């Protein structure tokens, strides 16, 4: 009895992570036709053989009636769905000698119709993101439908080859047994969003210090909390922030979407997300859920690359506020459910707002405030110490903010923060800035009185970021005296909480 073998590379998606796998096939001469599967495959894959037989027969390719064993390795990961149809068809054709051996850098990704047409793929975005990140020499072979979707959305297509049907793929493999990628490197095209020449912040009158706090937060991606009475303009100001962000790169967009189904996608929107969940939203609405094998992204993922705005911050559920801690610190969050664990990107800037007391008028006019000290204290205590510490900038928005003090910062003429953000990424050096901050701090020791070593590491990091963002706004690369004083002020509003809640 002779045994023939074939092998074809592929991927699988488990726990929202892509793993490379190999589909191995072996045939043993037998009088009874039979196909056996192993390696944790689901019913969809087993049923695919019925479709494949019809599609192959339709092309005049009848497979010998032998015993074929198909093993997906490594067997520890689950393999699901109809994405493997095309790979299985080509593996079988290679196994029986109809086509040459298939190179390891080709990934065939498409469902097959009964007539042999390539019908798209469920996990295309996840696998595509994976090869863009980790396998620059791999080629995804898929349907025309997916290719044209990528082209329409100006996505990089260098590693994607598409065909209409199985016959075309077979002809291509026969003609090109060792396909190579074109040498020309392709840079992802950024979608441009027409921008007004007017600064979005100019629409809001006054509030210069609040505008400065907002710009600083957006450049350095430092979480910001505005505290102010109703109608003072804090929400209006934050709403303008979405117009200041640069459009998303395709890669950032993909990162946020990689786990969704390509069949759910119509057009990509490159405008940076501006998410405003209600305070009654559940913790799952933020983290996302995994239901019946389908990933439903939450606010942390939906805000990736943009802004998450939490208005009325103390009213959010304590579990939601606690869940914010990891994404704010590490720019990713961990999703942990029974049999399901994933690490997901959460690159957003957190902007939030709240009233100073339950009635809202504490800072405007203490006489107008009807709250007792106990009520105010209970209200502010809803934000725990660890949560408050995550806010690098806490700023009290008051109607009569100084108008002239900040003339060195071009607050009202900034239209987009794209360049400043890039500059921030290139120039931020924690150690150098910490030294610079230490010098400033020591020279002001007489007024501050706490030794530098007593400072919390997180607040030092926040302050260095804020000071650098302020200096970049002035078109300088090193913070000056004024930048450090402002950074200190923005960071030290924390103490007000402590004083009031005592
Ligand atoms: Zn009050």
Of 119, 50, 37, 118, nearest to 80 by C-alpha is 37
DSSP assigned state of 99: S
More confident residue, 219 or 302: 219
Distance CA 276, CA 241 (A): 13
CA 364 / ligand 1 centre spacing (Å): 10
Distance CA 9, CA 102 (A): 9
> Does residue 74 have a cis peptide bond before it, meaning omega lies within 30 degrees of 0?
yes
CA 373 / ligand 1 centre spacing (Å): 9
- Give Cα 24 distance to the centre of its chain: 34
CA 381 / ligand 1 centre spacing (Å): 15
Of 297, 351, 301, 289, nearest to 331 by C-alpha is 301
CA 354 / ligand 1 centre spacing (Å): 12
CA 399 / ligand 1 centre spacing (Å): 17
pLDDT of res. 141: 94
Instruction: Choose the weakest-confidence range: 68-82, 94-108, 483-497.
Output: 483-497
CA 323 / ligand 1 centre spacing (Å): 28
The angle that helices 373-381 and 494-501 make with each other, rounded to 10 degrees, is: 130
CA 319 / ligand 1 centre spacing (Å): 26
Distance CA 482, CA 107 (A): 57
CA 374 / ligand 1 centre spacing (Å): 11
Which H, E and C letters describe 314-326, residue by residue? HHCCHHHHHHCHH
pLDDT tens figures, 255-270: 776 556 556 665 666 7
Question: How much is the mean pLDDT over the chain?
Answer: 85
pLDDT of res. 173: 92
CA 380 / ligand 1 centre spacing (Å): 11
pLDDT tens figures, 433-461: 999 998 888 887 656 666 677 778 888 99
Of 315, 283, 317, nearest to 300 by C-alpha is 283
Of 373, 295, 375, 371, nearest to 335 by C-alpha is 295
DSSP states of 212-264 as a string?
HHHHHHHHHT--EEEE--TTSSHHHHHHHGGGTSPPPPHHHHHHHHTTS-GGG
CA 501 / ligand 1 centre spacing (Å): 14
DSSP assigned state of 412: G
The architecture CATH gives domain 3-175: 2-Layer Sandwich (3.30)
pLDDT of res. 262: 58
Residue ranges of the domains in the chain? Answer: 3-175, 200-501
Mean pLDDT of 335-351: 83
CA 376 / ligand 1 centre spacing (Å): 7
Kindly tell me if the per-residue pLDDT of 410 is higher than 90.
Answer: no
Mean pLDDT of 158-186: 83
pLDDT of res. 264: 62
CA 223 / ligand 1 centre spacing (Å): 25
CA 286 / ligand 1 centre spacing (Å): 30
Place 320 in a pLDDT band, splitting at 50, 70 and 90.
very high
Place 2 in a pLDDT band, splitting at 50, 70 and 90.
low
Distance CA 304, CA 290 (A): 18
Distance CA 69, CA 335 (A): 36
pLDDT of res. 246: 85
Place 298 in a pLDDT band, splitting at 50, 70 and 90.
confident
Give counts: helices (H), strands (E), the chain.
20, 16
pLDDT tens figures, 123-165: 888 898 889 889 989 999 999 988 888 888 777 888 999 999 9
CA 324 / ligand 1 centre spacing (Å): 27
User: Within 341-456, where are the H helices?
Assistant: 373-381, 385-390, 418-427, 430-443, 445-448
Of the candidate CATH numbers 3.40.50.300, 3.90.1300.10, 3.50.50.60, 3.40.50.1950, the domain formed by 200-501 belongs to 3.40.50.300
């Amino acid at each position: 009895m002779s045994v023939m073998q074939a092998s074809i590379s592929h991927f699988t998606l488990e726990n929202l992570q892509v793993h490379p796998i190999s589909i191995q096939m072996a045939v043993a001469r037998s009088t009874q036709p039979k196909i056996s599967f192993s390696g944790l495959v689901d019913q969809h894959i087993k049923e695919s053989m019925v479709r494949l037989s019809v599609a192959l027969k339709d092309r005049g390719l009848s497979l010998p009636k032998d015993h074929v064993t198909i093993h997906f390795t490594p067997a520890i990961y689950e393999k699901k769905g109809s994405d493997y149809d095309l790979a299985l068809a080509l593996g079988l054709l290679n196994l029986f000698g109809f086509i040459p051996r298939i190179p390891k850098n080709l990934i065939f990704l498409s469902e097959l119709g009964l007539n042999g047409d390539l019908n798209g793929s469920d996990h295309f975005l996840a696998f595509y993101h994976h090869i863009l990140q980790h396998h620059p020499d791999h080629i995804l072979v898929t349907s025309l439908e997916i290719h044209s979707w990528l082209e329409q959305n100006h996505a990089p297509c260098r590693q994607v080859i598409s065909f209409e049907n199985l016959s075309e793929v077979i002809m291509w493999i026969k003609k090109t047994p060792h396909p190579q990628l074109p040498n020309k490197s392709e840079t992802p095209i950024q979608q441009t969003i027409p921008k007004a020449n007017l600064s979005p912040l100019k629409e809001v009158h006054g509030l210069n210090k609040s505008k400065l706090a907002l710009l600083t937060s957006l450049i350095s991606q430092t979480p910001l909390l505005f505290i102010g009475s109703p109608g003072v303009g804090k929400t209006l100001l934050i709403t303008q922030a979405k117009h200041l962000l640069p459009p998303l790169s395709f890669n950032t967009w993909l990162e946020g979407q990689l786990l969704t189904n390509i069949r759910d996608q119509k057009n990509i929107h490159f405008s940076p997300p501006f998410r405003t969940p209600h305070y009654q939203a559940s913790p799952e609405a933020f983290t996302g859920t995994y239901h019946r094998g389908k990933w439903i992204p939450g606010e942390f993922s939906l805000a990736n690359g943009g802004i998450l705005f939490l208005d009325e911050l103390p009213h959010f559920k304590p579990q939601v506020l606690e869940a914010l801690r990891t994404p704010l610190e590490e720019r990713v969050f961990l999703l942990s459910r029974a049999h399901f664990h994933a690490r997901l990107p959460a690159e957003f800037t957190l902007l939030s707002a709240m009233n100073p007391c339950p009635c809202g008028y504490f800072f405007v006019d203490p006489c107008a405030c009807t709250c007792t000290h106990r009520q105010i204290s209970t209200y502010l205590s809803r934000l725990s110490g660890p949560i408050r510490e995550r806010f690098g900038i806490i700023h009290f928005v008051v109607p009569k903010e100084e108008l002239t003090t900040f003339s060195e910062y071009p607050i009202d003429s900034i239209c987009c923060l794209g360049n400043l953000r890039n500059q921030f990424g290139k120039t931020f050096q924690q150690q150098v800035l910490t030294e610079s901050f230490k010098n400033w701090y020591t020279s002001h020791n007489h007024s501050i009185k706490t030794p530098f070593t007593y400072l919390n590491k997180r607040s030092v990091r926040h302050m260095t970021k804020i000071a650098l963002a302020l200096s970049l706004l002035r078109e300088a690369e090193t913070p000056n005296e004024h930048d450090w004083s402002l950074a200190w002020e923005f960071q030290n509003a924390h103490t007000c909480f402590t004083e009031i809640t005592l």
